[in-house]
Amino acid sequence: MMRLQINRETIGSDFVAGLTLGIESVPDSMASAVLAGVNPIHGLYAVMLSTPVGALFTSSAFMSVQTTSAMSLLVASTAAVQTGENAMQALFLLAVLTGVFMLALGLLKMGWLTRFVPNSVMVGFINGVAVLIILGQVGDFTGFSSRWGNKVAQAIDTFFKRDQIDLPTLTVGIATILLIVVLQDTRIGSFSMVVALIVASLLVPLFDWDSVTLVEDLSEIPSILPRPVLPNFSLLPALIVPAISLAIVGLVQGAGVSQSYKNPDGKYPDSSADFAGQGVANIAAGVFHGMPVGGSLSATALVVNGGAKSRWANIFAGLVIALTLVLFGSLVGKLAMPALAGLLMVVGFNTLRIDDVKTVWNTGPVQQAVMTITLVATLIMPLQYAVFLGVALAIILYVFNQSNRITLEEWVLTGEGELPLERSAPEELPADQATILVPYGSLFFAAAPTFEEQLPDPENTRHAVAILNIRGVAEVGSTFLEVLERYVGNLREKESRLVLAEVSRAVRDQFVQTKFIRVIGRHNVYIATERYGESLLDAYDQANEWINQVGRGKDG
């Protein structure tokens, strides 16, 4: 927990920034709950607790831990939360379980794990989420309830049944979007969503549109603060996979916040500590009837741009939400559902990352495939599995790509003091000479067959030495050792040798432990020194000396 101090010079700025974020978070958190398919009150409860708790426990001074669209859609695709008499208990346990996973990863200093979620996966996932956010609001936006379960199918069904659209409902939704667009570039731009939501909702009583659904028609919005509740752990088995998926998405989004905003001291926050802080915030949200939360880039940007100077801004935001709930909870129920749908459509449009799509697309076919498949999977299958599919696909394609990238070059020493000449490795190993071979790329198991194919063929050679420079190789696998063992055997049949130069002590220890050292011989392994190339030159000189010796023996 971070130590809080009140700075009289900055507390005013923090209060204004917190007020701005708190007011904006009320409709945003409710919309996130609607997106998740749960009572809007659970979005309010979550943000009311998670924003100040996150401020107290994260390494980042400005990170706003709130409901996010991506996490809301993951909640919406969790069956245990959407059906059954224990749906609400499942929602609260899901938040707690997500927090436990985040907290554990943070305490174990596992911030580096986010690099295993490639950018191409996240770009495909986030853009797929953006499309789902927009399409998922079609029902509330038009008043037509499609019988299809998939969001894309619902949108198509609505298009072909336009005659069943409720015009007052559609009018409120369109009015909300227009108001947000018009107001966001004005002086009250920070409150554009709040103003648009209220004004558009006022159209309902003004014109007596009984067909328009209000929040209170779906669920009660109590004007009281939540009491703590113990999770129902009997629901745990069905929530483990969704919780892991939520933790992955939340942590990646949170890492984006950590890497985007420096702390007041000018240093970037610790991602692992931010993991832990988000975990505590999720546990607090779940215990107090809230839904899962994570580091929100948009909310953090809002509080920073609002003038935040310290953690107090997010703490004030939580207090503003709590006061709004207590003082105006009954009025929250009067908000129109198509107005919330219009707000979410704007959020979905703003979530689209077209420039990121272009960047990934220009990177290469592997990244294109990963992004496209992740995006399509996001649209047609439960989101937790789409995340895992994208990560698994990226790993598989990376392994395939890296296994074909290894190349073997030859270094030719032209003279003392001269830099070596590099050229492609010969197809056949020259007789009666030492050939220096340098591999480029990873020598992991999948690349071993490609590496073996590029080794010079010793079939027509005699009295040759192949010197393999493996400086920089931290460790070798059993597959690679099998390749070397076969090559050693082939060379010995032709009265030739394999020499390994620039070998690290760690790799030498692997040779000893696997008994490969007996196969190649200790005299054929040259340990790397602090001077680059020193052991390579020693190996080269002794290889030529051996070649001269066997040559003299042959002549004699």
Say how many residues make up the chain: 556
pLDDT exceeds 90 at position 98:
yes
Identify residue 211 by its one-letter amino acid code: S
Dist. CA 126–CA 297, nearest whole Å: 13
Which of residues 7 and 54 earns the better pLDDT score? 54
- Range in 171-180, 263-272, 288-297 the model is least confident about: 263-272
36-64 mean pLDDT: 92
Q: What is the mean pLDDT of residues 519-528?
A: 95
Question: 446 pLDDT exceeds 80?
Answer: no
Give mean pLDDT, residues 317-323: 92
The span from the CA of 96 to the CA of 193, in Å, is: 30
Q: List the alpha helices (DSSP H) in 333-382.
A: 337-351, 354-361, 365-380
Dist. CA 81–CA 238, nearest whole Å: 10
Domain boundaries, the chain: 11-171+209-398, 407-555
Rg (CA), the chain: 31
Q: What is the mean pLDDT of residues 518-523?
A: 94
| Fold of the CATH domain 407-555 | Transcription Regulator spoIIAA (3.30.750)
Mean pLDDT value of segment 220-242: 87
Mean pLDDT of 141-158: 86
Using the structure block, give the residue that is written with the tokens 């007052």.
168
pLDDT score, position 2: 58
- pLDDT at residue 130 greater than cutoff 90: no
* CA neighbor of 238 nearest in space, from 398, 106, 420, 87: 87
**What pLDDT digit, counting tens, does each position of 398-410 carry?**
777 666 678 899 9
Task: Give mean pLDDT, residues 393-398.
Answer: 74
Q: 256-260, 412-416, 455-459 — which is least confidently predicted?
A: 256-260
pLDDT score for 276? 93
Average pLDDT of span 181-196 = 83
Q: Given the DSSP bridges, would you call strands 407-412 and 421-424 parallel, antiparallel or unpaired?
A: antiparallel
pLDDT class of 54 with cuts at 50, 70, 90: very high
Residue 56, pLDDT > 50, answer yes
Tokens of 298: 């948009």
Predicted pLDDT of residue 132: 84
Q: Report which residue type is found at 292.
A: P
pLDDT > 90 in the chain, percent: 44
Task: Find the DSSP H helices in 475-528.
Answer: 478-493, 505-513, 516-520
If one compares 309 and 305, the residue with the highest pLDDT of the two is 309
Of 296-305, 400-409, 426-435, 497-506, where does mean pLDDT reach its minimum?
400-409
